[in-house]
Amino acid sequence: MHISIFGLITAASAVVGECYLGGVNMPNQDVVRAQAHDVCDKNFSKVVYNDQTKEAYACYNVDDHTMITFAVKRISAGGDMQISPADCYDGLRKEIGGCQHGGHSNYTNWLFMLCGPERRPV
């Protein structure tokens, strides 16, 4: 599911985005924003993105029954690159507030994706 979505986005210079239709509504946005801060600070900003490692994913439980997946992908060419926690959060924040069921968009060198929310089995 994640890789095919990344494969659809190729333009790196313009802002391109899409909200996903249907599914579970976005849960508590304050919780999701806090999780985005966490994943940017502890995970995505620590990855060195290059031709071998172009993307990173992280799944978080929002509550006992709902899971979301954050993803960041480098869409520019060239050598090694890292994303700052602030740029990471800014990109993910736009998906949290802008799409009721998750979505993706790209800004400059990066594609940001928020998948889900998905209901987990009880």
Look at residue 1 and tell me whether its pLDDT is greater than 60: no
- What would the two tokens of residue 102 be? 């998750």
Indicate whether 2 pLDDT > 50: no
Lowest mean pLDDT among 22-26, 60-64, 102-106: 22-26
For the chain, the average pLDDT equals 82
Question: 29-77 pLDDT, tens per residue?
Answer: 899 999 999 999 999 999 999 888 899 999 998 888 888 899 999 998 8
44 CB neighbour count, 10 Å cutoff: 28
